[in-house]
């Protein structure tokens, strides 16, 4: 990890932690460099809703003190991390991108936040999102949209668009998002960074403000697969505060499964899923073909497979997720915290508060979900969607009988223009068509940057694996990451303006066409 970024700082999370733990770089200087980047970049990106400069500096000083005393501050020593603003932070505004939580200060830290602090990470701020994580462009934030660092006329994807843009622009090396139907992977693809949705239950949801509880999962954004794995290692593990939390054996995925060996996928059986390619734009389809070639070249056996059941995933998702949301969001009633719009009686106060506090997409989903759960409709909608969910899980299970991992597009398109889909919810929902199945099944999936379209916008390739299959997923993702280095690069984006060059940066100057050819 020799590459240096801003002001001579190490750029990747792994390199920062290594350097801070060794005492060769101070956490304080790391955090100052990144706060400076935020000052420079964020006014034109709007990735952050809150910047915690003082907290981050105090945290950095504490890390430096530990190092000076010869103690180990932890695996993320001095690494600046941004949090999607639906993760509770004690005493710090946590808005979910909504007016309804105006003025509310959580009295507790989410479990992931506690784990980050315990690992020596520095929380530098809270990032923008579609309101209550409902959206695919971050345009549904009550506080205004986030812009794509590669092209400010385009969306960064969503709902974790702020976290994706923050990492892509070099303002932070790591960020956390939440993924209910693709909200980590799709913005990662749009912004050209790595975004991972872990197996449901591997990361505690305690302190994650719920959208759809059976689908929500917290996961990392990073500039490299190994950094994503490093962050996942820190945040995962059993939490007694979350009944759905799994007791995963504490293997260190970052070290074991992201080796620099070109043969790491040797012998793996990888399926290229037709349903995760059909209907994608040409540039995305072309990159998928190159990704398949690259994996073959690296020693995997790649075959095209069809899992027809995946065609029903989006429909099932848009019943189950709103149904759970309609219940999860009932508590924002003006009685206890957040916004209250006074009215003559209780019911009117509830209605007035919710009418003023929620944006149109949130209202749309609450209504959809309420309808889907209503007496007389439950079986036809929610009940059937749950059965589809089982069918999809079974179909995946059948595929994994003979395949180790699956590959497909993360999103059917690259980042679209601001405003292009705001008026057309259905076309916006279609943005999630490749990602929702993993949430329904509870499986892990990761988006890895893999080339660009003709406009220079990043393309993401998605790797899927069975439940708790993070190890094999990361091996395949690492192989794609290595292969992507020989593609025409991810455009400069924030990097040009920050002068940043990170590990995993593409080698410049390669022409299209060289890609994917066996070395």
Partner 1 sequence: MGPDDPLELDGRPAPGRAEISEAGVTLDGWEAVVGLEVHCELKTATKLFCGCRNSFGDEPNTNICPVCLGLPGSLPVLNAAAVEMAMRIGTALNCDIRPSSFHRKNYFYPDMPKDYQISQYDEPINVGGWLDLPDGSRVGIVRAHIEEDTGKTTHLGASGRIHGASSSLVDYNRAGVPLVEIVSEPDIRSAEQARAYAAELRGILVATGASDGRMEEGSMRVDANVSVRRVGSDRLGTRCEVKNLNSLRSLGRAIEYEMRRQVDILASGGSVAQETRHFDEVKGMTVAMRSKEEAFDYRYFPEPDLVPLAPDDSWRTRVAASLGEMPAARRARLVELAANASSGPHLEASLSNQVATVVDLGLDDLVVAAISAGIDPSLALARAANEAAANAEAASGLDPSAFATLLGMEAGGKLSATQAKAVLAEMLAHGGDPETIARAKGFEALGDDELARAVREAVSANPAEWERYQAGEEKLAQFFVGQVMKATRGRADGKAVVAELGRLRG
Kindly tell me which of 328 and 498 has the beta carbon lying closer to partner 1.
328
Residue 468, Cβ neighbours under 10 Å: how many?
18
Q: Which residue has the tokens 């995925």?
A: 253
Q: Which of 15, 133, 209, 476 binds partner 1 (CB under 8 A)?
A: 209
CA–CA separation, 318 and 326 (whole Å): 12
Q: Does 107 bind partner 1 (CB under 8 A)?
A: yes
Cα three-residue angle 190-488-490, rounded to 5 degrees: 30
Q: Is 387 in the site for partner 1 (CB under 8 A)?
A: no
Cis peptide bond N-terminal to 159, omega within 30: yes
Q: Which of 198, 190, 196, 183 is CA-nearest to residue 132?
A: 183
Q: Cα 330 to chain center, whole Å?
A: 26
Q: Counting contacts by CB under 8 A, is residue 333 touching partner 1? A: yes
> In whole angstroms, how close is the CB of 201 to partner 1 at the nearest point?
10
Q: In this structure, is the dihedral angle defined by the CA atoms of residues 460, 463, 467 and 468, taken in order, positive or negative?
A: negative
| Active site (annotated) includes residue 84 | yes
Q: CA–CA separation, 47 vs 156, rounded Å?
A: 9
Strands of 98-149, DSSP E: 122-127
Tell me whether residue 244 or residue 301 sits nearer to partner 1 (CB atom): 244
Nearer to partner 1, 143 or 337 (CB): 337
- For residue 379, the number of C-alpha atoms closer than 13 Å in the C-beta half-sphere is 1
Among 150, 205, 443, 495, binds partner 1 (CB under 8 A): 205
Q: How many helices (H) and strands (E) does the chain have?
A: 17, 11
> Taking CB under 8 A as the rule, does residue 331 contact partner 1?
yes
Stretch that binds partner 1, among 299-307, 321-329, 390-398, 504-512 (CB under 8 A): 321-329
Given the residues 183, 236, 264, 478, select the one marked as catalytic: 183
The residue (of 206 and 396) whose beta carbon lies closer to partner 1 is 206
Of positions 11, 88, 222, 268, contacts partner 1 by CB under 8 A = 88
383 by DSSP, 3-state: which?
A: helix
CB of 244 to partner 1, least distance (A): 6
Whether 384 is catalytic: no
Distance CA 219, CA 184 (A): 7
Please state the closest distance from residue 330 (CB atom) to partner 1, in A.
4
Residue 96 or 415 having the CB closest to partner 1: 96
**Cα 461 off chain centre by:** 14
**Of the residues 80, 207, 442, 489, which one makes contact with partner 1 according to CB under 8 A:** 207
List the interface residues with partner 1, window 229-268 (CB under 8 A): 240-244
H/E element, 304: strand 301-305
Which span sits near partner 1 by CB under 8 A: 152-160, 331-339, 392-400, 409-417? 331-339
Task: Give the CA distances from residue 212 to residues 76, 180, 208, 320, 324, in Å, rounded to whole numbers and listed in that order.
Answer: 30, 7, 11, 8, 5
Per rule CB under 8 A, is residue 327 in the interface with partner 1?
Answer: yes
Whichever of 126 and 205 has its CB closer to partner 1, that residue is 205
Distance separating alpha carbons of residues 340 and 325, to the nearest angstrom: 20
Q: Which of 207, 202, 208, 213 is nearest to 236 (CA)?
A: 202
12, 84, 447, 484: which is the annotated catalytic residue?
84
The answer for 384, left when phi > 0, alpha when psi is -120 to 50, beta otherwise, is: alpha
Instruction: Candidates 86-94, 153-161, 253-261, 310-318: pick the segment binding partner 1 (CB under 8 A).
Output: 86-94
Concerning whether 183 is annotated as a catalytic residue, the answer is: yes
330 contributes a contact to partner 1 by CB under 8 A: yes
Cβ proximity to partner 1, 375 vs 519, nearer residue: 375
Query: CB of 506: closest distance to partner 1 in angstroms?
Result: 38
- Check residue 337 for interaction with partner 1 (CB under 8 A): yes
- 378 contributes a contact to partner 1 by CB under 8 A: yes
What's the closest the beta carbon of residue 125 comes to partner 1, in angstroms? 18
In the complex, what is the shortest distance from the CB of residue 371 to partner 1, in angstroms, rounded to a whole number? 10
Q: Can you say how many angstroms the Cα of residue 126 is from the centroid of all Cα atoms in its chain? A: 14
Query: According to the binding rule CB under 8 A, does residue 176 interact with partner 1?
Result: no
Does position 375 bind partner 1 by CB under 8 A?
yes
Tokens of 426: 């259905």
Alpha-carbon distance of 176 to 403, in angstroms, equals 30
Q: How far apart are CB 13 and partner 1 at their closest, in Å?
A: 25
- 382: contact with partner 1 by CB under 8 A: yes
Specify the residue, 376 or 518, whose C-beta has the smaller distance to partner 1. Answer: 376
Residue 346 contacts partner 1 per CB under 8 A? yes
Contacts of 398 (CB under 8 A, 6+ apart): none
Q: Are strands 217-222 and 194-197 parallel, antiparallel or unpaired?
A: antiparallel
Among all residues, which ones are annotated catalytic? 84, 159, 183
Q: Which residues bind partner 1 (CB under 8 A)?
A: 86-88, 94, 96, 101, 104, 106-108, 110, 205-210, 212-214, 240-244, 323-324, 326-327, 330-331, 333, 335-337, 345-347, 350, 370, 373-375, 378, 382
């Amino acid at each position: 990890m020799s590459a240096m970024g801003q002001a001579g700082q190490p750029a990747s999370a792994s390199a920062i932690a290594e350097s801070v733990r060794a005492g060769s770089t101070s956490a304080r200087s790391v955090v100052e460099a990144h706060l400076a980047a935020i000052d420079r970049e964020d006014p034109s990106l709007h990735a952050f809703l809150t910047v915690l400069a003082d907290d981050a500096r105090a945290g950095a000083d504490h890390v430096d003190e530990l190092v000076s005393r010869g103690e180990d501050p932890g695996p993320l020593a001095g690494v600046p991390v941004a949090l999607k603003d639906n993760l509770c932070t004690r005493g710090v505004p946590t808005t979910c991108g909504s007016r309804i939580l105006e003025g509310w200060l959580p009295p507790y830290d989410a479990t992931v936040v506690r784990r980050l602090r315990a690992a020596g990470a520095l929380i530098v701020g809270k990032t923008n999102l579609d309101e209550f994580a409902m959206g695919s462009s971050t345009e549904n934030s009550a506080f205004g949209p986030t812009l794509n660092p590669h092209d400010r006329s385009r969306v960064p994807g969503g709902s974790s668009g702020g976290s994706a843009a923050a990492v892509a622009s070099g303002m932070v090396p790591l960020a956390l998002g939440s993924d209910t139907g693709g909200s980590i992977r799709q913005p990662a693809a749009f912004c050209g960074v790595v975004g991972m949705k872990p197996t449901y239950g591997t990361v505690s949801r305690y302190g994650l403000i719920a959208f759809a509880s059976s689908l929500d999962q917290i996961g990392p954004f990073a500039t490299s697969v190994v950094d994503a794995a490093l962050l996942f290692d820190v945040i995962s593990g059993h939490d007694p505060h979350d009944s759905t939390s799994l007791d995963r054996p504490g293997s260190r995925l970052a070290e074991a499964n992201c080796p620099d060996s070109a043969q790491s996928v040797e012998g793996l059986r990888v399926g290229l899923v037709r349903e995760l390619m059909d209907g994608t734009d040409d540039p995305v389809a072309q990159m998928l073909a190159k990704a398949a070639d690259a994996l073959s070249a690296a020693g995997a056996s790649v075959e095209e497979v069809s899992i027809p059941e995946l065609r029903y995933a989006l429909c099932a998702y848009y019943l189950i997720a709103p149904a759970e949301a309609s219940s999860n969001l009932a508590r924002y009633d003006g009685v206890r915290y957040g916004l209250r719009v006074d009215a003559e009686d209780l019911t009117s106060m509830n209605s007035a508060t919710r009418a003023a506090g929620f944006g149109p997409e949130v209202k749309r989903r609450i209504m959809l979900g309420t309808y889907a759960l209503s007496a007389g409709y439950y079986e036809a909608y929610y009940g059937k969607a749950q059965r589809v969910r089982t069918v999809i899980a079974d179909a995946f299970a059948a595929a994994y009988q003979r395949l180790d991992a699956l590959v497909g597009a993360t999103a059917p398109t690259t980042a679209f223009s601001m405003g292009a889909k705001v008026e057309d919810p259905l076309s916006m929902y279609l943005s999630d068509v490749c990602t929702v199945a993993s949430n329904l099944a509870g499986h892990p999936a990761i988006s890895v940057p893999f080339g660009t379209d003709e406009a220079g916008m990043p393309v993401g390739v998605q790797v899927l694996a069975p439940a708790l299959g993070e190890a094999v997923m990361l091996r395949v993702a690492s192989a794609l990451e290595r292969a992507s280095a020989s593609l025409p690069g991810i455009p400069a984006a924030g990097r040009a303006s920050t002068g940043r060059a990170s590990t995993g940066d593409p080698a410049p100057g390669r022409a299209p066409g060289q890609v994917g050819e066996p070395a």
